[in-house]
Structure 1
Amino acid sequence: MPTLTPEPQTAHPRPRRRRLWSTVENIVLDVLAVAGVVCIALTICAFVFHYSLIMFKTGSMAPTIPQGSLALVHKVPATDIEVGDIVTVDRPGERPVTHRVIEIHPQTGGEVLIAMRGDANPNPDPGMYRVTEVREVVWHAPGLAAKVVWLSDPRVLGGITIAASGLVLWAFWPRRDERDDDERAPEGGAPR
């Protein structure tokens, strides 16, 4: 009586859905990793090159920079500014002021006397500011200040922290490897 020999079993390819999900997972993780690296690089550059963000709580610079705008400022020596620049000046005991420079009077030792006026104000700021460095506005976006304030809410920060923790856990959670699927497949072809 002839004996029947079973045909050799070939590894069954992973189901298409599983391969697609794995590809989507890898793309999402790669995008998040790149975004994280970009955030870290921008933070380091901001610190090293003296960039920071400010929010406009008043409309004194409207219509150029309306109330609720977010601006990127760069710390520069006061001797580098020109009439027409929009700068932030720190005032002892008061909030900083961000207005347009309308007069410059160089002094000795790198100091500068500047007069400023908000675009929406009819009169210049009272008095002049004696400064050695200012923060020059290099970019601004209307309406972003409210979003930054929303993001700084402790509940929102807590939610972001929990979501980021979940993503890290998901990224490093052990996954069943393709080889494990092949080793578990019995002679009938379907995984146990």
Structure 2
Amino acid sequence: MLIILQLLDLVKKAQDRDEASLQAIIKNFEGFMYKTASSIYINGYEVEDLLQIEATALINAIFKYNCEYTNAFTTYATTAIKNALNNELRSYLNKRNGEKFEFSLNNTMDEDTEFMDMLLSDDNVEEDILLKEDIRTLRKALKSLPDNFREIICWHYFKEKSLKEYAEFKNIKYSTAKKRHARALKKLKEIIITISK
């Protein structure tokens, strides 16, 4: 990230319609935007679609930002980017009129084990999820996961890609991907149990 004063100078120039400064700011936030876009799943959206939404939010933030503010532009911009994605997700869910994600807790893993089977316990988490807050609970639990755990869960169950593909994509060993996947499921189960109480 650019130092605060240098970034603020670019913001001022961009507000004066300097295209080079605008592009420099966008480039500065590319890494953050890609990471944020990759951490969210909206059915039917590609990462590129989410990046476009983020870029639009960033540009709006640049022109709305008051350079006299004491808070850093970085905080203002990252908040605007996150809010844009959250609003898009909220809009998508509203359009579906409360329908569930096109993701089933009965999706199978490589070993023909259902996702829900990995979450079952003596506390009957399955019944709690289905009878209480179902998708809202799952969505809240996924949001609470660390980024790398949420990424592998979304990759394997929402995008329905294999752990082998994930390992290749992340340039890690397959065994590492399997361990991360197992830890992610364990953590997700713990969060769901906590939320469902």
Sort the TM-score into its range (normalised by shorter chain). Answer: under 0.3
Higher share of residues assigned strand? 1
Q: Which has the higher contact order (CA 8 A, sep 6+)?
A: 1
Structure 2 length-normalised TM: 0.24
> Which one has the largest radius of gyration?
1
